[in-house]
Structure 1
Amino acid sequence: MVKNDKTEFIIMILGDRPCFCFQVRDIHSGELIVKLPYHNISRPQPLSQILLATCQAANFFIFFDAAAVASVI
């Protein structure tokens, strides 16, 4: 779950490892906020670092629930 002070977002993991991507969508409107293919990262990084860096760049605060994400990979 990704949150800022106005809107909540949900992270969805799609596809199979290691070529999956994640999407961050507005929970209310369904608008796509971020879509990042993991296999396009030039240097492989843990997913949590990618999510954290992406959300920080977008000025979101991330509350990363690894168990919830792992359950849908």
Structure 2
Amino acid sequence: MSRPRPKLAVTDKEAAHMLSLPLGEFNKLVKAGALPRPVLLASKHPRWPVKTLDAVLSSAALDDDNEFET
């Protein structure tokens, strides 16, 4: 039996869940530039690379106040 592969990229709902944010707040932070914009797959399917979201969390952990800039 094969092991499930980890996801390389996720939807906005999945990305918001990974960051423990409500979807509306996640989208607001993306629009404001406080969170990275998605990569477009086939020019119409926005996805956030999991590595990018991990990097956001890692850099937030290094900040003194642990808050995203808005």
- Determine if the TM-score, normalized by the shorter chain, exceeds 0.5: no
Q: Which has the larger radius of gyration?
A: 2
| TM-score, normalised with respect to structure 2 | 0.29
| TM-score, normalised with respect to structure 1 | 0.28
